[in-house]
Amino acid sequence: MEFLSEYGLFLAKTLTFVIAVFVIVSLAVSMGGRTKKSDKGHIEVAKLNEKFDHLRDSLRDAMLDDDEYKEFEKAEKKRLKEEKAQKKKAAKEMAKTKVEDTSSAESEPSAKKRIFVLDFYGDIKASEVESLREEITTVLTLAKPTDEIVVKVESGGGMVHSYGLASSQLVRITNKKIPLTVCVDKVAASGGYMMACVADKIVAAPFAILGSIGVLAQLPNFHKLLKKNDIDYEMFTAGEYKRTVTMFGENTEKGRAKFVEELEDTHVLFKEFVSSHRPQVDVEKVATGEVWFGSRAKDVNLIDELQTSDEYLFAQAESADIYEVEFTYKKTLPEKLGFAAQAAVDRLLMTWWERLNISRWF
């Protein structure tokens, strides 16, 4: 018994020491993070044209034998040389024909179109809106009306205020008169479609899910359970409608009616938002909370074209410079330690969300 008590005391001391060290390290890292708070993250840019070229060259290298590859290299060098000579000749001719009056923009050679590609994967809280706002701010420093911004959206919806902010970030692009295209490969429903409808053009895969223009809210009520166990629940508010429904108190018909009224008003705002950005849509017909697959969504004007994002971008690689822009946040040590657990919880919540068919904007 004496041995067991000493061993137990030893374990308690060891556990206390480990917890103390962990707390000290966490505090130190947290303080360090606060001193570097201004350094939130950085922008990463990748030119997709180079990626496409690399993929093509890798396949060609595997397919051609040595003699064929030498012939190809020779022909490619000749082609590049001729192309360079043609550009030089065109520049000289332009210089000769250029008049002193440079006010006419028609005499200037047109610059190659640029396409900036952003990704948005939306969870219930639209957590990536923070990255999206940084990416859009960065692109707007250089983008012109002759360029194009492509946002690949994947979201089944979520909180009203979160997706309202995400949609407002996209409105910043259209306010600058820069063409905006939203590509949907899998799903842009509810809050996701609220974002998509801002675009000048919506491109979706044939089996992508779109629509769900509706509002939903649900919560359990434990009042009967508490009452059965003689447990009182008291809530104090100032304002008649400060709390319309509750999880633990007894809900009233008046409170329920007010809550439904608020949902209806949110639905009206949602429909007005869609109508203002896509007037070609018969909102009353589609704002029933239903969803449509891509090919059916085109029939009711929810989208404009049937294509995957890969097909859309690859088709423009010859005539435009395509840049993928991503804002990456720096994570502190506690954030890195908790990232895996948070990701698992998010996946669990999303699975629960989808199984209950709550892919709605609420």
Q: Which residues are catalytic?
A: 190, 242
Alpha carbon 67 to chain centroid distance?
47
Left (φ > 0), alpha (ψ -120 to 50) or beta: where does 239 sit? left
Name, in order, each residue with C-beta under 8 angstroms of 123's C-beta and a sequence gap of 6 or more: 155, 158, 346, 350
Cα 252 to Cα 260: distance, rounded to the nearest angstrom:
12
First to last CA, the chain: 60
Cα 257 to Cα 11: distance, rounded to the nearest angstrom:
58
Buried b vs exposed e over 158-169: b needs ≥16 C-beta within 10 Å? Answer: bebebbbebbeb
Strands 201-204 and 187-189: unpaired
Rg (alpha carbons) of the chain, rounded to whole number: 29
